[in-house]
Structure 1
Amino acid sequence: MFLNNIIGLFDKSYSSLGFSHSEAIIKQKKILNELLENSKDTRFGEDHNFRNINNYEDFKSSVPIRDYEGFRGYIEKIKNGEKNVTWIDKPLYLAKTSGTTSGTKFIPITKESLPNHINTAKHLLYDYFKKKKKIKPFLGKVMFLSGTPNLDEENGIKIGRLSGIVNHHKPFFLKNRSLPSTETNQIDSWEEKINNIVEETLGQDLRVIGGIPPWIQMYFDVLIERTGKKVSEIFPNLELLCHGGVNFQPYKTNLFNSIGRAIDTLETFPASEGFFAYQDDLYSDDLLLQVNSGIFFEFVELNELKKEKPKRISIEEIKLDTNYAMLITSNAGLWSYDIGDTIKFTNTNPLKIKVSGRTKQYVSAFGEHVIVDEVEKSLKKTCEKFKDVEIVEYTVGPRIMNQKSKSHHEWFIEFKSPPSRIKDFEIELDLNMKNLNIYYRDLRKDKILSRLKITKAKKKSFINFMKSIGKLGGQNKVPRLSNNVKLIEKVKSLN
């Protein structure tokens, strides 16, 4: 009966989402037309002449690319209680999120956009269930490590963290199976919250866990410290780990070591602005783009992004294995909005992507244009050669030449198990960086940059850093790259 209920629930909102490229193009054109039609009488629609937009070329001419700063004026009007600003009426929620350059951001979630967040998560679980043909993971407890569900209210709009907002809209079949309790989830202090979660979960039949990898690892560490057992000894039926927010690879070894065995893992690509993609195949780590979920996607090649008029394209013109900044137009009332993430397409039938980094996280103090994807791949390849090395966290920044040293990249790394010869590890890592980034290779060849240098961080350096800036836990992530060494110096000061 429970199995039939789950199938029935999913089938109402689920259809095959793996559209061919030509089908996806049709879906996307329809979504853009509907968004324009629904918003033509809003303040934004009038400001940008929506009534005279007839096609995508018109849209690009009328609606410029904006990041949060460019959109802030409209958001302030929404916060002040104005209706029909960028979308019909007022949003149900404003999702509060931390911006690296804009401070706190408030992202609208409307009645029309909420299903994107909820149904995409359900589709991920259904895809897993359908392909594995196993109900076992859904018969026990499910836990997603998230921010507090507490919501404020301002001018009739509820305000809170996305993970907290979503907590109020759990599918019925998860409500009685979810951990932790509402009381524990409301705790603001992440360390106190983790300790309470450990107390609540001991003795439970936990089968599915989700969250950002470093915070899952922190939970596992406290669990192991408390019991002296591997996670799989405490939760023998744990089968699935859903993750997102950061690249999983640097955390995978530590997580599986903590569990005591490998389990199924699925990557997700959610944000306050929308749930964009998820891994629909356990054996392939690319993500299925959600092209029929109220969001119209645009893409800008990274070398175009800083131009006065960057070239924007729809999914119709995308190329494989090219780094794009991703823009969204959605039924949350966001228009050609730069979400700050970079992606690469890996497939067109259906459209699949990999997240390659952040548009504002890069190192290019010398013109090297190093992005997160290159750093993560270089480190992964190096660790494959140095098999005993385990890494907890890291960040990278440029060091400018001074009297003591030549210009180089500094890698500030917290090791769980460090290499026996750090210099050999540096040489291999530097070689992998040269193989992945031609600009870096040329700068090394011309001796403008010397070999990268690794600085070992003490245990819990990054946890202490995140705690010091009030971003410990939840959906917060350690920045991988910075175009200066302020971040490294800040972490070092707590080292």
Structure 2
Amino acid sequence: MSLKKFFGKIIAKQTRKKVDAWKKDAVNRQNQTLLKITDKAKDTQFGKDHDFSTIKSYSDFKKLVPVRDYEALKPYFDRLVNGEADIFWPGLPKYFSKTSGTTSGTKYIPISKESMGHHLTAARDALLLYISQTGNADFVDGKMIFLQGSPVMTEKNGIATGRLSGIVAHHIPAYLQKNRLPSLKTNSIDDWETKVDAIIDETINEDMTLISGIPSWVQFYFERILTRSGKQHIKEVFPNFNLFVYGGVNFEPYRSRFEKLIGKRVDSIETYPSSEGFIAFQDDQNDSSLLLNVDAGIFFEFIPAENYFDENPPRISLAEVEVDKNYALILSTNAGLWAYSIGDTVKFTSLNPYKILVTGRIKHFTSAFGEHVIAEEVEAALREAVEKYPAEVIEFTVAPELNPTEGLPYHEWFIAFAKAPENMTAFAESIDKTMQKRNAYYADLINGKILRPLRITSLKQDAFNAYMKSQGKLGGQNKVPRLSNDRKIADVLTEWREK
């Protein structure tokens, strides 16, 4: 056994004990976190404006600090981005994580020295908990690839600025640097297709054991490397590849395609990092839900998703959540975000410990007729259909068709298949029946003859990559929304319809 594996297993056991301790003490840790971060920020501009010095409980915090998103907090963010210190958090941020906004355009999310440490610890702990459970530490001796955004940083009034994955790339521990690919030069290439080809140059003859990235872009890399190598399966190129780490989207719609490309089933670890904080990670190979990261400088609040757009929606702490209920996620952090709505929705699968599944985006839904279909529902319906009528899905999205040339309106599913089902009609019927079971509003609309059953539009295999390229969003952390409430994406995708 190598020294890396030996020490890795020892540290993994220690990490398991540490995580088990805060799992059992989650609500108390959350209360401590809220009081600690509000006390630290009491002399900032935001802290003074919201009387942080008087906060002694969660009840006090709720009364003083309303839930807001980036647009609502923009006057504070503008001052911070313009170089003013002590706005949300003492001093200036260590980094700005640059993300795409909606009405505000580009968003600059602050990352403090304190929050950066938790980003790194959570990612490390996810791997160590895997080693602790499985005993498999083989990947530490091979090469590891992280398909991510460019690590090239710019400056915004003296603050280093970049994409989150690029920022994290500057903090890879020294003991992993020799194993890590691609090189800094290759990772800094802007054009995604050129970058993937360069990554293949660097990896095709290496012993890759761990691969990490958003599933759709890792799939793109796999397809390219098989074309280059002339091999049938990734296992022939990387025989010791045995661990896939991913985040950003649900892996299940991609799993069957992945396994065919790889030629075997590999273990996977799901993580939930965001610019606002490392929210959760998978800690159990027998449970696909994610352990909420309650001891990492983040205080969590939750708003029932169905009430999110109410004038005065209820908001609750971890102590009051229920299983199987859809919540909008609200964060206050040791980077200076306060009652900040990040736009994601989650549901709890367990309260002991607190575990979640990501169900979608609060603004990404299809509800042209009040049905409020969410990502979790469409992903589950597609997964069940693929199991019944074998198919390989590359990517998909759903949009309403409000004004068909004939007949009732419907939901249109745009799917790029690597292998289409033999019976597309039965496949579509299966999806529709599952949707009706999962969403009572959708079922009522179908049964009430307001909507007709969904229709599938098959797209060319490269349709979604071509679409993302046309929007200047190919690669990196960019993703096609699962759901839309209009036809902006749908109408462009029709260009790549299968003839």
With the shorter chain as reference, the TM-score category is: over 0.9
**Cα deviation, residue 5, structure 1:** 4.3
Which of 40, 48, 53 is residue 51 of structure 1 equivalent to?
53
In structure 2, what is the equivalent of residue 409 of structure 1?
411
In structure 2, what is the equivalent of residue 394 of structure 1?
396
**Cα deviation, residue 100, structure 1:** 4.5
**Cα deviation, residue 469, structure 1:** 1.1
Cα separation, 2, equivalents of 1:462 and 1:244: 19
Moved more, 393-402 or 445-454: 393-402
**Cα deviation, residue 18, structure 1:** 3.6
Letter in 2 for 1:289: L
Where in structure 2 are the equivalents of 1:309-328 lying within 5 Å?
309-328=312-331
In structure 2, what is the equivalent of residue 140 of structure 1?
142
Where in structure 2 are the equivalents of 1:376-391 lying within 5 Å?
376-387=379-390, 389-391=391-393
User: How many residue pairs are counted as aligned between the two chains?
Assistant: 494
Cα separation, 2, equivalents of 1:69 and 1:204: 46
Letter in 2 for 1:157: I
* Cα deviation code 1:9-54 (max 9, x no counterpart): 6688775324577621110000000011000110000111111222
* Cα deviation code 1:201-238 (max 9, x no counterpart): 01101000000000000000000001111111111110
In structure 2, what is the equivalent of residue 345 of structure 1?
348
Verify the 8 A CA contact 2:24 2:353 in the aligned structure 1. no
Please state if 1:359 is matched with 2:374. no
* Cα deviation code 1:145-167 (max 9, x no counterpart): 00110001122210001111001
In structure 2, what is the equivalent of residue 234 of structure 1?
237
Cα separation, 1, equivalents of 2:273 and 2:74: 22
Cα separation, 2, equivalents of 1:358 and 1:479: 9
Which of 198, 201, 216 is residue 199 of structure 1 equivalent to?
201
Verify the 8 A CA contact 1:410 1:454 in the aligned structure 2. yes
In structure 2, what is the equivalent of residue 214 of structure 1?
216
Verify the 8 A CA contact 1:184 1:196 in the aligned structure 2. yes
Provide the secondary structure at the position in 2 that maps to 1:285: coil
Verify the 8 A CA contact 1:190 1:472 in the aligned structure 2. yes
Verify the 8 A CA contact 1:19 1:350 in the aligned structure 2. no
Letter in 1 for 2:76: Y
C-alpha RMSD of the superposition:
1.6
Where in structure 2 are the equivalents of 1:297-308 lying within 5 Å?
297-308=300-311
Verify the 8 A CA contact 1:18 1:350 in the aligned structure 2. no
Please state if 1:449 is matched with 2:451. yes
In structure 2, what is the equivalent of residue 254 of structure 1?
257
**Cα deviation, residue 493, structure 1:** 3.2
Moved more, 71-80 or 220-229: 71-80
In structure 2, what is the equivalent of residue 225 of structure 1?
227
In structure 2, what is the equivalent of residue 26 of structure 1?
28
Moved more, 401-410 or 332-341: 401-410
In structure 2, what is the equivalent of residue 170 of structure 1?
172
Provide the secondary structure at the position in 1 that maps to 2:350: strand
- Structure 1 runs of 4+ with >3 Å offset: 3-15, 18-22
Moved more, 97-106 or 323-332: 97-106
**Cα deviation, residue 8, structure 1:** 6.6
* Cα deviation code 1:348-391 (max 9, x no counterpart): 1111111111111101100111111111111111111102x111
Provide the secondary structure at the position in 2 that maps to 1:335: coil
Letter in 1 for 2:471: I
Moved more, 403-412 or 463-472: 403-412
In structure 2, what is the equivalent of residue 108 of structure 1?
110
**Cα deviation, residue 134, structure 1:** 2.6
Cα separation, 2, equivalents of 1:21 and 1:280: 11
Provide the secondary structure at the position in 1 that maps to 2:446: helix
Where in structure 2 are the equivalents of 1:65-104 lying within 5 Å?
65-104=67-106
Question: Unpaired runs of 5+ in structure 1?
Answer: none
Verify the 8 A CA contact 2:389 2:422 in the aligned structure 1. no
Provide the secondary structure at the position in 2 that maps to 1:355: strand
Letter in 2 for 1:476: N
* Cα deviation code 1:248-276 (max 9, x no counterpart): 01111111111110011111111111111
Verify the 8 A CA contact 1:96 1:162 in the aligned structure 2. yes
Letter in 2 for 1:481: L
Cα separation, 2, equivalents of 1:181 and 1:234: 20
Provide the secondary structure at the position in 1 that maps to 2:87: coil
Cα separation, 2, equivalents of 1:33 and 1:324: 23
Verify the 8 A CA contact 1:95 1:161 in the aligned structure 2. yes
Verify the 8 A CA contact 2:414 2:458 in the aligned structure 1. yes
Verify the 8 A CA contact 1:243 1:265 in the aligned structure 2. yes
Please state if 1:124 is matched with 2:138. no
Cα separation, 1, equivalents of 2:355 and 2:64: 29
* Structure 1 residues 45 and 38, CA gap change in structure 2 (3 angstroms): same
Provide the secondary structure at the position in 2 that maps to 1:334: coil
Verify the 8 A CA contact 2:112 2:334 in the aligned structure 1. yes
Cα separation, 1, equivalents of 2:247 and 2:224: 21
TM-score, scaled relative to structure 1: 0.97
**Cα deviation, residue 103, structure 1:** 2.6
Verify the 8 A CA contact 1:18 1:349 in the aligned structure 2. no
Verify the 8 A CA contact 1:279 1:287 in the aligned structure 2. yes
* Structure 1 residues 22 and 255, CA gap change in structure 2 (3 angstroms): closer
Cα separation, 1, equivalents of 2:404 and 2:224: 43
**Cα deviation, residue 121, structure 1:** 0.4
TM-score, scaled relative to structure 2: 0.96
In structure 1, what is the equivalent of residue 377 of structure 2?
374
**Cα deviation, residue 431, structure 1:** 0.7
**Cα deviation, residue 6, structure 1:** 3.6
Verify the 8 A CA contact 1:17 1:290 in the aligned structure 2. no
Cα separation, 1, equivalents of 2:100 and 2:63: 31
In structure 2, what is the equivalent of residue 335 of structure 1?
338
**Cα deviation, residue 2, structure 1:** 2.7
**Cα deviation, residue 99, structure 1:** 2.8
Cα separation, 2, equivalents of 1:86 and 1:65: 15
Letter in 1 for 2:338: W
Letter in 1 for 2:346: I
